[in-house]
Amino acid sequence: MNKRGLRFKLALTFVWFGALLSLLLTLGLSLAAHNLGERLMDETLHAELDDYIARRLRNPNSLPPATISVRGYVHTLGQRNDNIPPGLTGLSPGKYQLTLDDTPYRVAVADRENERYIMLFNEQRQRRREEQFLGYLTAGALIMTLASAAIGWWLAGRVVAPVKELARRVGQARPEDEHIPIASGLADDEIGALAQVFDGYLKRMRAFIERERAFTSDVSHELRTPLAIVQGAVELLEDGPRLEPKQQQRIARIGRATQQMISLTSALLLMAREKSTEEQACEVWDVVMEIVDTHRYLLSAKTKVEVLCQEHTRVAAERTLLGIVIANLIRNAFSYTESGTVSITLENSCLTVCDTGPGIHEEEIGKVFQHHFRGAASTGSGIGLSLVKRICDRYGWETVIESTQGEGTTAHLFFARPA
């Protein structure tokens, strides 16, 4: 039983309602029975009192009633009467409730001429009847509460059934599938209206996906084709025999920029697709060494690189996306370290890139993964680390940046989230 489920909450509401109604009914009937019992006892006392007074007027020797329920006494005012219990002699005319010898009584007192009439009604039997009646009411309240729980659970199931069916249909609906109306077959009520809203959103989502697919296809063709042409032209130029050193450097720079653009385009297109469940495992250290060799041109003459592989780690991911993440971390370390050391270490499923560059301002640390954010000393476009975060979120990795201004920056890439 799901205690957070809608059915449980509705059934619990029925139980509380049934219990509250039963409690109020029990209290009301119990109070009414008690008041009715007191009124009947008072009426009985007055009737017995009037009857005895009338008999006493006709026959002065008539004895007062002495039954299990009713007892009477006559006291001549100004005289002593030892037959009357001490607790009754000082009572003035009126109604009372007393306890004599641990027995509760209702008492009525009246004066006629020179005599005082006292009539007692034993309340024990009435109280036992009230307690028995209260027991019946309590049992009835419990039965009514249980019945409310059973009926509430059944009714809640009937009420929740359309919601569960709607949830099942929404859960099975896929934007890429053929359009099957979610509202088909549902009643024309609030659930049906909600299903129609889902149908509208699903229709808009399908249209959006179609537009995205068309855009992705166009980008893939329109960008990759000219980039491939540029890359081919660069390769032809690099093979030219009469190039001066400066020309070779410029052509190499164009080639590197083209290759970076091809990698970035591939990464963005891959990110636009759904994550594949059949991605091949990549050797992280092989990718690291390839990127280090590719980006050595960024190192200054005063900077040295230290690489250390404590263990070989394999991750199931697109090699291109893994390369984008590692390349951003290493490229940043190479670019901003004018002198000193860049150390790259792989151990415990964690790649650590540590540099001795200028570091990052303390107020900028929390913003480095924001899209298009550029620090005070940044020369990039501000999409590198934001793309890193998106790729890490895709695969469940985690990137932690630690930096001290003037001392350097350390980036940790955890392929398994730290404990």
Tens digit of each residue's pLDDT (9 = 90 or more) over 88-109: 877 888 998 888 888 899 999 9
- The pLDDT assigned to 419 comes to 46
Q: Is the pLDDT of residue 382 over 50?
A: no
> Which phi and psi angles does 103 have, rounded to 5°?
-120, 125
Tell me the residue ranges of DSSP E strands in 195-296.
281-283
Give the number of other Cβ atoms within 10 Å of residue 355's Cβ.
27
324 within 8 A of 387, measured Cβ to Cβ = yes
Asked if 137 contacts 30 with a C-beta cutoff of 8 angstroms, the reply is: yes
At the top level of CATH, which class does the domain 176-274 belong to? mainly alpha
Is the CB of residue 322 less than 8 Å from the CB of residue 315? Answer: yes
Calculate the alpha carbon distances from 79 to 76, 104, 106 in Å: 6, 27, 25
Helix (H) or strand (E) holding 97: strand 94-100
pLDDT of residue 271: 66
> Residue 334: pLDDT above 50?
yes
Query: Average pLDDT of the chain?
Result: 82
Domain extents in the chain: 6-145, 176-274, 277-414
What pLDDT score was predicted for residue 176?
64
For the domain covering 277-414, report its CATH number.
Answer: 3.30.565.10
pLDDT bucket at 353, cuts 50 / 70 / 90? very high
Strand 408-414 relative to strand 398-404, pairing? antiparallel
At 29 the pLDDT is: 92
The set of residues, in sequence order, having a beta carbon less than 8 Å from that of 384 and lying 6+ positions away, is 328, 331, 332
By percentage, how much of the chain surpasses pLDDT 90?
16
The per-residue pLDDT for 351 is 93
Structural contact between residues 325 and 391, judged by C-beta atoms closer than 8 angstroms: yes
CA pseudo-torsion sign 294, 297, 298, 302: positive
Q: What would the pLDDT profile of 48-82 be if each residue is shown by its tens digit?
A: 989 998 988 888 888 889 888 899 998 887 777 76
Instruction: Evaluate if residue 280 carries a pLDDT over 90.
Output: no
Task: Please write the tens of the pLDDT for every residue from 192-241.
Answer: 788 788 878 777 877 777 777 776 666 666 666 777 777 777 777 777 77
Give the residue-averaged pLDDT of 127-148.
90
Q: Give CA torsion, residues 260, 265, 269, 270, to 10 deg.
A: -10
CA distance 100 to 122: 10
**Distance (Å, rounded) from C-alpha 387 to C-alpha 374?**
14
What is the arithmetic mean of pLDDT over 133-149? 90
Instruction: Answer whether 176-274 and 277-414 agree in fold.
Output: no
Q: 319-336 and 284-294 helices cross at what angle (nearest 10)?
A: 40
Among the ranges given (25-29, 35-39, 272-276), the one the predictor scored with the smallest mean pLDDT: 272-276
267: left (phi over 0), alpha (psi -120 to 50) or beta: alpha
Spatial CA neighbour of 195 closest among 224, 173, 221: 173
What's residue 342's pLDDT?
92
Q: Where are the alpha helices (DSSP H) in 59-123?
A: 86-89
Whether the per-residue pLDDT at 242 is higher than 60: the answer is yes
